[in-house]
Amino acid sequence: MNTIVRSQGSFPERLLVQEMTHRVNNEFASAIQIVSSIAARSSNGDVKNALASVMEQLHSYARVHHALQMPLHNDPIDASAYLRELCRSISCSKLKNSGIELVFVEQPFSLSAERGWMMGMIVAELITNAVRHAFDQRGGAIWIECLVSKKFVVCRVSDNGTGSTTETRSGGGMKIVNGLAEALDGTFTFHLGENGAEAILGLPLEPVRLRVTGA
């Protein structure tokens, strides 16, 4: 019997993602530097204040990008702390002045860095989907809650919005979510009702090990 651990991506794919991440980081840094330089040269107070807001927004987007970048190692991480920081970054970058409250209900648990990263991408996509489609000008709330057992974690992302249909909530982003859930050996379900939507992601804390018969 040989034990094979399911891989999360080939070496060339990892290099490609890391290179793209490096380029995006550089672009964020360049954009922030340009805005900062223009603000420093301006003598108009209103212009300085406006550019300061732009820089703050760019820094917020950069923090979200940093939280979602592929990890360089696969050591265990505090997944709850990782999701908390991700939610904080998303709240600052996308929900400020929107009237939408993002609530993360913590329960400590650990995952490998790669599994935590993939789970983070799912949560980020579900939040983005809700922000785009669920709410009107009155705003509302999005809740993220992780329930942990001995071998599994169930993550619920729910909202109290009513501004969409199932069709508008099930586009390309949901295909990505389903693909990531499958890669995590997990399950994903989505329900939309009169009082909002609920997405449920369930996955094992450890990757499924495939056993094959070898010579």
Structural domain boundaries in the chain? 11-209
Partners of 203 in the beta sheet? Answer: 153
Confidence of residue 209 (pLDDT cuts 50, 70, 90): low
CATH superfamily of 11-209: Histidine kinase-like ATPase, C-terminal domain (3.30.565.10)
Greater confidence (79 vs 96) lies with 79
pTM: predicted TM-score of the whole model, two decimal places? 0.76
Confidence of residue 211 (pLDDT cuts 50, 70, 90): very low
End-to-end CA distance of the chain: 8
What is the model's pLDDT at position 151? 94
Please report the DSSP string for 98-124 in residue order.
TTEEEEEE----EEEHHHHHHHHHHHH
Cβ neighbourhood burial of 169 (10 Å; 0-12, 13-18, 19+): buried
Per-residue model confidence as pLDDT tens digits over 11-45: 566 566 666 766 776 777 788 788 888 888 888 98
